[in-house]
Amino acid sequence: MQRLGPWSREAWAALALQLLRPPRAPCAGDFDIAGHFDPMIPDAECLKIIYEILNALQLGDFLIKMSWKDVRQEMVGKIGLAPEVADCIGVYIQQHGGVSLVEQLLQDPKLSQNKQALEGLGDLKLLFEYLTLFGITEKISFDLSLARGLDYYTGVIYEAVLLQTPARQGEEPLGVGSVAAGGRYDGLVGMFDPKGRKVPCVGLSIGVERIFSIVEQRMEATEKIQVTETQVLVAAAQKNFLKERMKLIAELWDAGIKAEMLYKKNPSFLTQLHYCEETGIPLVAIIGEQELKDGVIKLRSVASREEVDIKREYIVTEIQRRMSES
């Protein structure tokens, strides 16, 4: 098969693994197959590619809807089906399903009288056979309500959508919608050929920008991801405790604990706590006037904000215990 565009299926697999990296600019990824081939084989591969990409990205449950472009217009305006025959399709418009719905339409007494309609439904049935071999029919829905707005589509059209999932407590429902689409456009390439040669094509487009938007929504709705290996921040509750912080951090380093402190003599306590929250540091070892007087270190959990006083001689052991349990 000759594919338009620079990417092979292997490249698409690599894209799926890299999509969580921030984009430099709004974009979409396109994949096309051009050439004269037996019916529905390249179409099935395009649907398989959409399935593989969305499955690899693990964005959640998804469904690939499949239909004709603008059912009534296609039947009445382009393949010459009589309006009264096309009207009988209306009873199916709200239906969706698998190959059984295609078979139901094939048996319709009015549609069965139209050669073009039978050929189109036959192709769809064949497509479902190939999708069954690819093992992806559980994610495919034949949906007659689907319509793509672009005029150059000439046959099967499809659109992949993320399905709404219930929001967890305290979260807003995540926005869902189309993340990929495509279809057959057999007449488009020939429009740009001086000799008017017909080049059958089928393709798909992945909404990369849309996917990034969904990923960002979900990251905001979940706990902050730790972006550092630091286990504990050594902090001071008052001014003029730089030397005490340096003594404590040296002790933690010697014990193999991954610790850090802000490179300022007198950082505000709030600034130090915000730093932990932004970077995902789980613990704060706090020293101040009262702690120094009592011979303790106040150990704070960033997630729960719980604070406990630990004897100075046990602080290393306590941090190591907590890290081993996390």
- Token pair for 142: 């034949």
Q: Is 148 annotated as a binding residue?
A: yes
Q: Is 72 annotated as a binding residue?
A: no
Q: Which amino acid belongs to residue 30?
A: D
Helices (H), the chain: 9-18, 41-57, 71-73, 83-87, 99-106, 115-134, 208-221, 242-254, 269-279, 289-294, 315-325
67/159 Cα distance (integer angstroms): 9
Q: Tokens 């540091």 map to which residue?
A: 281
Please name which of 158, 145, 121, 151 lies closest in space to residue 43, comparing C-alpha atoms: 158
Q: Are 64 and 38 in contact (CB under 8 A)?
A: no
**Which residues fall within 8 angstroms of residue 319, CB to CB, at 6 or more apart?**
231, 232, 252, 257, 283, 285, 299
Q: Is 294 annotated as a binding residue?
A: no
Query: Annotated binding site, which residues?
Result: 32, 148, 152-153
Query: Annotated binding site for L-histidine, which residues?
Result: 32, 148, 152-153
